[in-house]
Structure 1
Amino acid sequence: MATSNPVLGYLESRKNLAGCACGLAGVGLTLTGAAGSLWPVVVAGLYGAGALIAPPERTPPPPFPDPAGQLDALRADLATLRAYLAEVELPSAAEGRLTELDSLLEALLEPGWVSDPEQLRVLARAVRQDVPEAVDAFVRSRWWTRVVPGSEPPERHLECQLTALHGEAAAIADTLREAEVRRQETHTRYLEDRGR
């Protein structure tokens, strides 16, 4: 139990408790007469030895959220992203691609599907960084294209970016589908072997 007072912290520490236990053994030796007239040195020495051999205090790891908690936060971030995207004017082709990506992300973020940390990282990066950055870069580039006509249309880059992000999410969906197919096949083999 951690405390802000260092004296109380030491009194509750493993080192002090181990020292006290060994010191009590020294008191026991004194009561049996084995320590003789040097009993204070024996008790203090055993306390010190116990404090030295006790394991050090361990700082607990930070309480990072489990995959389910990460998914809850990611779903909340997806809702925030949707609110942002609802206010942005996008070309119809990019909007259609974004709708496909949004549907795929929503399906992947349903509870019980994604638990692999790497897959969670890819989805989090898509929701929290890649999609907002792609849309924001499009909006900024579109403004400059209107001011300086004749440059490459930003719609093309946005569509390419959304296609790449859809590909990453689709790869995760394919991996999950293949895992479920293998699970189903394994269960079929198990039931067929059990029936023999």
Structure 2
Amino acid sequence: MESRKNLAGCAGGLAGLALTFTGAAGAYWPLVVAGLYGAGALLAPPERAPVPHFPDAAAQLDVLRGDFGRLREYLASVELPPAAAGRLTELDGLLAALTGHEEWASDPDSFHVLTRAVRQDVPEAVDTYLRARWWTRFTPGSEPPERLLEHQLGLLYDELAGVAEVLRDAVERQRESHTYVLEERGGAVKRRRPPTP
């Protein structure tokens, strides 16, 4: 009822009725009214689909924090060898520090790496270890799965440490830029101030 085409058609139909009451439409007034309604409906611009709404970076980070909480619950429920558990503790501390920052809006690539680590890489590495540990009972002499888990967790730590470095550099650049702006504003005020006699 409230579409653009219907409203334009109704306006055309009203114009047809106006022509009818003035006598210009004659005996064919129903065709004139219907024709003007149809012309208005055809000439009206089409309805535009609404622009899709995507969550902003802050909302995405809140969801990721919830996912990280679930990952921590999962990791607390599994039993890992001491060396891998130590690596995982280091990785957990780094992930906690990274998810605590709000600066991810400026670097979506780093946010993707963080998201992939929380939702895919860490749980997959631990789950693969747990499944491989069971199978090594049937294949004695093969490489222990905990060695591969330690290696995978080390690689993930290095990758996320690189992400942390990118984030630190971005924050440092923002801080330096803000300092520069403040210094420029202070210099402009000094230049505008008339000299005291």
TM-score, with structure 2 as normaliser: 0.81
Mapping of residues 55-70 of structure 1, within 5 Å: 55-60=45-50, 63-70=53-60
Decide which of 40, 46, 63 is 1:73's aligned counterpart.
63
Decide which of 174, 177, 184 is 2:175's aligned counterpart.
184
Q: Partner letter of residue 188 of structure 1?
A: T
Deviation at 1:125, TM superposition (A): 1.8
User: Any conservation in 2 of the 1:108–1:114 contact (CA below 8 Å)?
Assistant: no
User: Any conservation in 2 of the 1:123–1:169 contact (CA below 8 Å)?
Assistant: yes
**Identical counterparts, % of pairs:** 66
The alignment status of 1:152 with 2:138, answered yes or no, reads: no
Change (3 A) 1:54 1:167: farther
Deviation at 1:87, TM superposition (A): 1.4
Partner of 2:28: 38
Distance across 2 between alignment mates of 1:88 and 1:65: 33
Q: Partner letter of residue 113 of structure 1?
A: E
The alignment status of 1:108 with 2:108, answered yes or no, reads: no
Distance across 2 between alignment mates of 1:151 and 1:34: 98
* CA deviation map 1:25-69 (0-9, x unaligned): 322333344434433222211211222223333444555433222
Q: Partner letter of residue 152 of structure 1?
A: E
Change (3 A) 1:30 1:111: farther
After the TM superposition, which of the residue ranges 164-173 and 62-71 deviates more from structure 2?
62-71
Distance across 2 between alignment mates of 1:46 and 1:36: 15
Partner secondary structure for residue 55 of structure 1? coil
Q: Partner letter of residue 174 of structure 2?
A: R
Distance across 2 between alignment mates of 1:170 and 1:54: 57
- Unpaired runs of 5+ residues, structure 1, are 1-10
Partner of 1:47: 37
* CA deviation map 1:123-151 (0-9, x unaligned): 22211111111001111112222332211
Distance across 2 between alignment mates of 1:54 and 1:98: 62
The alignment status of 1:161 with 2:158, answered yes or no, reads: no
Partner of 2:125: 134
- Alpha-carbon RMSD across the aligned residues, in angstroms, is 2.2
After the TM superposition, which of the residue ranges 79-88 and 16-25 deviates more from structure 2?
16-25
Count of residues in correspondence between the two structures: 186
Of structures 1 and 2, the larger Rg is shown by 2
The alignment status of 1:195 with 2:186, answered yes or no, reads: yes
Change (3 A) 1:144 1:14: same
* CA deviation map 1:75-124 (0-9, x unaligned): 11111111111111112222222122222222222262222443333222
Partner of 2:190: none
Distance across 2 between alignment mates of 1:157 and 1:64: 38
Q: Partner letter of residue 56 of structure 2?
A: D
